Amino acid sequence: MLSSLQLRDLAIVHRLELEFGPGLNVLTGETGAGKSILVQALSLLLGGRGSSEWVRAGSEEASVEGVFELSAPVRDALLERGLPAEGPELLVRRTIHKNGKGRVFLNGQLATVTLLQEIMRGTIDISGQHEHVSLFREEHHLDLLDAYAGTKPLAAELAALYREQAALLSELESERRATEERARREDYLRFQLEELRELQPSEGELEDLEVERQRLRHARRLQEVSGEAECVLYSGEDAIVDRLGRVERDLQEASALDDRLSPLAARMALTLSEVGELARELGRYAHGVDLDPARLEHVEERIESLRRLAKKHGGSLERAMAAQSEMEAELRLIEETEERCLRGHTRLGELGSELEARAQALSAARRRGAEKLEKALRLELEGLSLTGSSLEVKLTPLAELSVRGAERSAFLFAPNAGEPARPLAKTASGGELSRVLLALKVVLASNDGVSTYVFDEVDSGIGGRVASVLGQKLEDVARSRQVLCITHLPQVAAYADRHLRVSKEIERGRTTSRVEVLEPQASIEELARMLAGSEVTPRSIELAGELRARAMARRTPGRAPSGRGRRRRAA
């Protein structure tokens, strides 16, 4: 519920503070006094678009501040977004600078307009003369039907499935167009990988093969050199090992005669051992030299193949191996894409079945809701002195399922019994449209969670006894929620729980608006002014008193007007 509203430098308002209460809050006043500015202010608090033209002339900035009773859903929404939600109230502040820029504050914390819209969505419903135009739009009729029938969740589920299907169809179509190019790419990758996988190069292999080729090319020379060295050192006639052996024995014998030769004899023994081991290793090397020409041919072919491969893939074998990893990854991605397409087609079939089931359920629920809505509207229209009129909620099947379901809806109005129902734009007058709009709001009031309704001169084109009935309907709606109503009709204003008068005056050469909460007697005087015009007479006051008395007579016992006589005006 809206508790209070504060305006600063908005349009012709300099400073204005006003409080609202539960039930029916009625705002009256002469044309141009500034009543519509209050609606503009509320629109800003809901996230509506602002304009630098709304900043009062001579001021740098306009601001609107509203205090709302904090409901559980709004508190949860604030907490989910990390915004402060302590205490029983929500303070919303909106500023507009004359350069067009503005700011939003929620409980003192800076926020965005989008966030404001999300938080305030569903808290206040503003109905004005512009909604007469919206009643002409058939796409709006389906929204109204879903709101009444309680099918919004089902419609949202269908819309989500429909969008998923549309996105999947678009993705699969893109994949279909890319299939030919993907197939060519896949063939290329497989051809390149076939060569890489066949050769199976390894890191450092090319360098190792070049070393082996060098050895194979000179194998005979290597064998000859190593064999001859072994022969000279060990196996040949008068080999070095034999000669060193004799020297080692002589030194051993001499060391017995002189101890100083003992270290030299030991070193000679070690040298003999090392030469012997060297000769044996040379012998093993000579016997192990590979003289296989076939192996040499294989190595040279392998080197040539690897060099061609390296040249094709960046100049080195390492780059070729990296290219193999990249191509294998790309090929896996192509294969996964194909698998994803298969899964996509499977999901597409599932979505088709789910959508059909949801659409059938939604259509059935809408048909039931349309029948109930027609009956409820017929009763409300009769109460608004449109006896014999009817509002038909027509559902027309669509050739193809849409994001909103399998049908479209149109409200057809028959103002008189026996006449065919036709579109509202072609049949209803301004006064009839006002009553149709109010009837819809009354009927929908039991099906939405909106805590505050704002009616901005929806009584256009209405007068006389119908105006009194309209006041009764507004009073009925106000029994379950807060209602703010701007009206020019005393028959409506008479039902106010809280009567606020908007007026304008000139202060220091500037026009400004003021709002005052009227005590019961002041309210009757205002009703008299609305009845008689500028000249209030005793008779008009008497008639105003009768209007107020009749309105109070149908009030729920114990429910009294909430006006407290406080006066809020320009500072």
Residue 496 lies in a domain: yes
pLDDT at 57: 86
User: Which residues are CB-neighbours of 514 under 8 A, at least 6 positions away?
Assistant: 16, 502, 503, 504, 505, 568, 569, 570
Residue 374 lies in a domain: no
**Can you give the residue range of the structural domain that contains 475?**
1-123+450-571
- Give yes or no: residues 189 and 328 share one domain: yes
Which of 98-102, 357-361, 409-413, 437-441 is the least confident region?
Answer: 437-441
- Give yes or no: residues 194 and 329 share one domain: yes
Residue 321 lies in a domain: yes
**Confidence band for 129, pLDDT divided at 50, 70 and 90:** low
Residue 570 has pLDDT above 50, yes or no: no
- Give yes or no: residues 201 and 320 share one domain: yes
- Give yes or no: residues 188 and 98 share one domain: no
Among the candidates 305, 333, 361, a domain finishes at: 333
Task: Phi first, then psi: give them for residue 260, nearest 5 degrees.
Answer: -65, -20
Q: Where are any strands of DSSP class E within 122-168? A: 124-128
DSSP state of 32: T
- Give yes or no: residues 566 and 480 share one domain: yes
DSSP state of 260: G
Residue 128 lies in a domain: no
- Give yes or no: residues 455 and 545 share one domain: yes
- Give yes or no: residues 189 and 329 share one domain: yes
- How many domains does the chain divide into? 2
- Give yes or no: residues 73 and 200 share one domain: no
Residue 179 has pLDDT above 70, yes or no: no
DSSP three-state, residue 55: strand
Task: Classify residue 513 as left (phi > 0), alpha (psi -120 to 50) or beta.
Answer: beta
Residue 567 has pLDDT above 50, yes or no: no
Residue 108 lies in a domain: yes
**Confidence band for 33, pLDDT divided at 50, 70 and 90:** low
Chain segment 85-112, per-residue pLDDT in tens? 888 999 999 999 988 889 999 999 999 9
- Give yes or no: residues 200 and 64 share one domain: no
Residue 369 lies in a domain: no
Among the candidates 281, 316, 333, a domain finishes at: 333
DSSP state of 443: H
CB atoms within 10 A of CB 266: 14
- Give yes or no: residues 193 and 117 share one domain: no
- Give yes or no: residues 200 and 117 share one domain: no
Residue 406 lies in a domain: no
Chain segment 549-565, per-residue pLDDT in tens? 988 887 755 555 554 44
Cα distance between residue 15 and residue 232, in whole Å: 120
Residue 485: CATH number of its domain: 3.40.50.300
pLDDT at 565: 41
Residue 381 lies in a domain: no
pLDDT at 391: 85
Among the candidates 315, 333, 351, a domain finishes at: 333
Helices (H), 218-239: 219-230
User: What does the pLDDT average to over 183-208?
Assistant: 78
pLDDT at 4: 92
- Give yes or no: residues 209 and 310 share one domain: yes
